[in-house]
Amino acid sequence: MKILVAMVALSLLGACGQKQQPTQETGNRQVNATAEVDGLADELLERWRVRNSLVRMQSNLPVTQIEDLTFEEAQQEADFNRAALTRLRTIDLSGVPEDRWVLARLLEHTYEQGANAAEDYWLNFAVTPYSGAMSVLSIQRVLAAQKFETADDLQRYLHLVDEYATLIDQMAAKTRGQAERGIRVPKPAIAGVRTSLTGLRGGVVTALDVAPARTSALAPADVATFHGSLKQKFDQVVLPAYDRIIAIFDDAYVAAAPERVGLSQYPGGKENYLRRIAYGTGLSLTPQEIHDRGLAAVADLDAQMKAIREELKFRGDREAFHQLLRKDPRFIAKTPADVEKRYLGYVERMAPKIPDYFSVLPKAAYGVKRLDPAAEPGMTYGYYQEPSPDNPAGTYFYNGSSLDQRSLVSAQHLIYHELIPGHHLHLALQAENESVHPIREFLLFGAFTEGWAEYAASLGMEMGLYSDPYDRYGHLLLQSMLATRLVVDTGLNYFDWPLDKARAYMKEHTFESDVQIASETLRYSTDLFAQALDYRLGYDQFWQLRRTSEAQLGEKFDIRRFHAAAVGDGAMPLDVLTERIERFIAGQRGGE
């Protein structure tokens, strides 16, 4: 039995004021509208289960194909979403149950983004460390989860290995097509692309190989034939595909690649950036508004950190204090095991506080593991991976390289962001929630997901967990780093900042090393454009909604109920979340 999350049952009209008395006609209309919304969600989920291997795996279905990365597929995606959006907008949603209203709004956002799939296709790189390597690692995860119960499963796996190689070739074809259109990976990012692709090539045989234990139920002769065929595919299909894509980044490509970074240099880049802001947040914010908000937040955080330095009676400047922190043995791990021990120790401190803030928790366990070393060079930190049939525990994969250069002074904030009460609480709970349509497990909205994790990490302050001045300073350091992203991401991608200006700004206002700043700024300006905005913008919105709820509800405000309303039924764009909390407030005022 999975966790059920209670929802506030307010109709659209009821949330706004006087309720209409139901009639047979309005009742039938609401039932029909509910069925139409469910039908659209069913249709989209089925489409994803056919076309998306990760969704298929997480749905406990056999994987028979891997994603198609061609422009033709993007055109089909755009056509499907435009047609679905037209159908959705003909549905009268007045009076439908709250969960269907939310679902309809989420479908609308999803269709709007998908409708631009072809238009946005050429402005998404397929080879950069996050957009490329992480996508490939996800596919490898799918193949690693395949089960072998019959001889047919052996043949299906060989087919998937062929499809994997085809995906690498499609990545190469897209990269060549972008170059033909004057869209090339900028020079500063090419070394990282080569390193990432070379690392993937070096680890692919191990990643896709099948250990004897996985095929122990099958006839030895069939297994022996299978391994012979698999080795042949590695040698003749998979590795040559990697050689072809790596070969793209030759001297001629580098010579033609731009020195500049940022989305605005490409045809339609600024318009694409505006769409990315809308997709990620659901808010109507201009790059200038975001940039200014970042400048203000950084100034405020600088002042708070200065106050802590004064509290500690440190007489030097900011950089001198940071140099001490970087060398302080209290914050330097000698081994990956030390990193894990530090993270889990902080989580143990958080656990007793959770019941006072949350009424509904996920059942799935959680933990930490090191990233695949091949993926570490292009990543500053790591990432959280939600529970799935192949790995039932939510896991934070951390960067375990160059530990002598990775101070753990902000580790407490980071692990609260990644696990409890951050990503794990939200994403595992969303996956376990049976009270909403099953497609909700796969509807992820960046500013909600990252904003919630940042808000959750900040709860440690009011819980008293950042009790030591150094803990508080580490918390503010990471907050400052995320606030600088608002300035630097908009600067690089919309206001034509050069890399050196962005890096100088981050060096002045963050604790990150030069290596990490170099990685971060390339991530913003050559890889995941606008994604870095999600963290601080989402954080601001969650806190704004909480303060509004506290002010309007007064003594009726209950933090556990607020959190259940805000995060309990899954991710949504921030504009939908805002309306959701407005309904929550109205329900609490009415005693619901």
Model confidence over 217-257: pLDDT tens digits?
999 999 999 999 999 999 999 999 999 999 999 999 999 99
Characterize 424-442 residue by residue with b for buried, 16 or more Cβ atoms within 10 angstroms of its Cβ, and e for exposed. bbbbbbbbbbeebbebbbb
pTM value surpassing 0.75? yes
pLDDT tens digits along 401-413: 888 888 899 999 9
Q: 459 falls in which pLDDT band (50, 70, 90)?
A: very high
312 plus 249 within the same structural domain:
no
**Per-residue pLDDT, 391:** 81
**Per-residue pLDDT, 5:** 30
Spell out where 305-461 has E strands.
Answer: 366-370, 383-385, 394-398
Nearest 5 degrees, angle CA 13-CA 15-CA 21? Answer: 40
193 plus 307 within the same structural domain:
no
Nearest 5 degrees, angle CA 450-CA 184-CA 294? Answer: 30
The token pair at 504 is 């100088």
499 plus 416 within the same structural domain:
yes
| Domain count within the chain | 2
**pLDDT for 13 beyond 50:** no
- Whole-angstrom distance, CA of residue 523 vs CA of residue 528: 6
For residue 157, being part of any structural domain is answered with yes
Give the least confident one: 57-61, 70-74, 159-163, 234-238.
Answer: 57-61
- Whole-angstrom distance, CA of residue 202 vs CA of residue 192: 15
**pLDDT for 375 beyond 80:** no
Give the least confident one: 185-194, 490-499, 583-592.
Answer: 583-592
pLDDT tens digits along 499-526: 999 999 999 999 988 888 999 999 999 9
166 plus 248 within the same structural domain:
yes
245 plus 359 within the same structural domain:
no
456 plus 488 within the same structural domain:
yes
Spell out where 198-298 has E strands.
Answer: none
**pLDDT for 48 beyond 50:** yes
From its phi and psi, is residue 402 left (phi > 0), alpha (psi between -120 and 50) or beta? Answer: left
**pLDDT for 371 beyond 50:** yes
For residue 461, being part of any structural domain is answered with yes
Query: Beta strand pairing status for 383-385 and 366-370?
Result: unpaired
Q: Tokens 């052996």, residue?
A: 154
Instruction: Name 216's Cβ contacts closer than 8 Å, sequence gap at least 6.
Output: none
367 plus 335 within the same structural domain:
yes
**Per-residue pLDDT, 365:** 94
DSSP letters of 450-478?
HHHHHHHHHHHHHTT---SHHHHHHHHHH
383 or 197, which is more confident?
197
For residue 576, being part of any structural domain is answered with no
**Per-residue pLDDT, 373:** 83
**Per-residue pLDDT, 31:** 85
Using an 8 Å Cβ cutoff, are 460 and 394 in contact?
no
- The overall average pLDDT reported for the chain is 92
- Whole-angstrom distance, CA of residue 350 vs CA of residue 412: 10
pLDDT tens digits along 99-155: 999 999 999 999 999 999 999 999 999 999 989 988 999 999 999 999 999 999 999
For residue 402, being part of any structural domain is answered with yes
281 plus 428 within the same structural domain:
yes
**Considering only CA atoms, which of 530, 453, 483 is closest in space to residue 124?**
530
**Count of beta carbons in the 10 Å neighbourhood of residue 365:** 12
235 plus 291 within the same structural domain:
no
Domain boundary (203, 229, 257) is at: 257
**pLDDT for 10 beyond 80:** no
204 plus 292 within the same structural domain:
no
For residue 395, being part of any structural domain is answered with yes
- Whole-angstrom distance, CA of residue 105 vs CA of residue 89: 10
381 plus 233 within the same structural domain:
no
DSSP letters of 172-210?
HHHHHHHHHTT----HHHHHHHHHHHHHHHHHHHHHH--
394 forms beta bridges with 366
Domain boundary (522, 539, 556) is at: 539
Q: 568 falls in which pLDDT band (50, 70, 90)?
A: confident
For residue 92, being part of any structural domain is answered with no
For residue 397, being part of any structural domain is answered with yes
Domain boundary (491, 506, 539) is at: 539
Torsion, CA 151, CA 157, CA 159, CA 162, rounded to 10? -150
Range of the domain at 137: 126-184+187-257
Instruction: Name 221's Cβ contacts closer than 8 Å, sequence gap at least 6.
Output: none
**pLDDT for 75 beyond 70:** yes
> Which amino acid belongs to residue 375?
A
Q: 441 falls in which pLDDT band (50, 70, 90)?
A: confident
282 plus 394 within the same structural domain:
yes
For residue 237, being part of any structural domain is answered with yes
Q: 8 falls in which pLDDT band (50, 70, 90)?
A: very low
391 forms beta bridges with 388
C-alpha atoms less than 13 angstroms from C-alpha of 137 in its C-beta half-sphere: 23
Q: 58 falls in which pLDDT band (50, 70, 90)?
A: confident
